[in-house]
Amino acid sequence: MSSRTSTPDAQDATDTVPVPAGAGIGRDRRAGMLVALTACGLGGLYLWRGVVAPVPLDPRGQIEATAWLGLDRWAFVDQPWRWLFLELAVVAGVSVARWADACRRMACTMRRALERPAARLALAATSTVLFWGASTNRENLDGSLLQQKFTDAAARTGAFVTHDEMLELYLHSRLWIILHAAWGWDVAQTYRATSCLAGGVAVFLVLGLSRRFMPSRWPLVVAGLFAGGWVLVFFGDVENYTLTNVAVLTYLTMALRYLDDEHARLWPAGFLLGIAALCHLEALVLAPSLLSLGGFAIRRRRPADAAVAVLAVPALLGAAVWWFNLHELPITDLATHSQISAQGGHFARFIAPANSQYMWLQLQMLLLLAPSLALLPALLSAGILQMTPRVIFLAVASAGALLMVGLWRAQLGAYNDWNLYAVTAQPLGLFVFGGLAAQPSIRRQAAWLAALVVLMITQTAAWIAEHHAMLPS
């Protein structure tokens, strides 16, 4: 993944970066073949589990009972929709193959339009309406308990807070107190409104990321990032991961800006990761990526900037723990009630069990949240990645997030605890689709990638429809 390219739009419209004659032809062919195999394989699995041999999904029943939850969401929608999804993928692939130059010119034109903040703001506002209109009607166990917790805490301390989700819970509970007094809203309504508004912020941020990639290839990265089921956190999700995901996305955006600009400072990225960790301690899985940025800052001969950025995370966390200790959240609770201490050292309850059934469900859940995972083998084995600072940063960020999926137990089960792992999709999506978009040429892959992204989007759309159609609890 190269840094922001200086290639003019006219040159970029050819969709290639100048390389010596004959260079990389073997890699291009190998990458094209691997992407084509991935598209056919994933499409075949979607078709098999969604059309040929679907598991019936009942919104009133135990829909999480299926062991193919990452591949069978088409089974929820009626059969005409399943065939429409497949047709859309074929049309997308054929269109990119048949009218490649027109598609590239359109992407460049749209990129120029997105340079205007007003255009990004308009799309973000429109997406907020979509998030609200298609909001989920499902609450997991943790979400269903928030009403009583907030009500009790409001009378006692004026806010509900735990060490695991300090800022997220504090802001949600304070906002509920205000909106309940003004409009009589319950906790679920407050969470849903916040979730949808946060989704608009996420759309604005990701559209801004389009400037970090080639003008003709930004749709691949943006659409690929939003193609995963992790976006359900913005469809009215009643849980404590919405603000965390926005904070993580802001951190990644700031980090890429830092890597693209030799004159940028690193400390804002460190501050943002600290904010993300304040929202939920799970964001600390990205701490190694901040250390990698610190290493790049030292190479730029800015050790003080690196030190301030890295130390910002523990400083913010320490200040928050101290402040909440003065407001009815004792520091001693860290050792007895926080998941970071396994609630008193009971790590067997929190470390993932080493059995194949659990790992299979985690893999399925990850394929649902971050279908970019399916392209990871093609990306790594095709020999197309160059070890640039951007690639190293996103690889480290992705590795940390993937380790959490593999090591930290889903307490409510893979389906019900999906939002715990949603932060994995962002670094992984940027790593995979950003890496594919940075190749000197993607002519052999463009049509397959277009079809594959549409397939991923339809799987996510079916999952969102599944949650929207459920009876309110």
Confidence (pTM):
0.91
| Mean pLDDT of all residues in 196-224 | 93
Least confident of 250-264, 298-312, 371-385: 371-385
Render pLDDT for 122-140 as a digit per residue (tens, 0 to 9).
999 999 999 999 999 888 7
| Mean pLDDT of all residues in 10-30 | 55
Quick one: pLDDT band at residue 183, thresholds 50, 70, 90?
very high
Query: Average per-residue pLDDT in the chain?
Result: 88
Quick one: pLDDT band at residue 10, thresholds 50, 70, 90?
very low
Residue 75 clears pLDDT 90, i.e. is over it: no
| Mean pLDDT of all residues in 131-157 | 88
Render pLDDT for 219-234 as a digit per residue (tens, 0 to 9).
999 999 999 999 999 9
pLDDT score, position 473: 46
For residue 423, give every residue at least 6 positions away whose Cβ sits within 8 Å of its Cβ, in sequence order, or none: 230, 241, 244, 245, 248, 282, 283, 285, 286, 401
Residue 335: Cβ within 10 Å count? 15
pLDDT score, position 350: 81
Q: Find the helix or strand (DSSP H, E) in which 140 lies.
A: none
Q: Which of the pair, 260 or 412, is modelled with greater confidence?
A: 260
pLDDT score, position 3: 42
392-408: burial string, b at 16+ Cβ within 10 Å, e else: bbbbbbbebbbebbeeb
pLDDT score, position 64: 54
Least confident of 61-65, 327-331, 443-447: 61-65
| Mean pLDDT of all residues in 25-52 | 85
Residue 21: Cβ within 10 Å count? 5
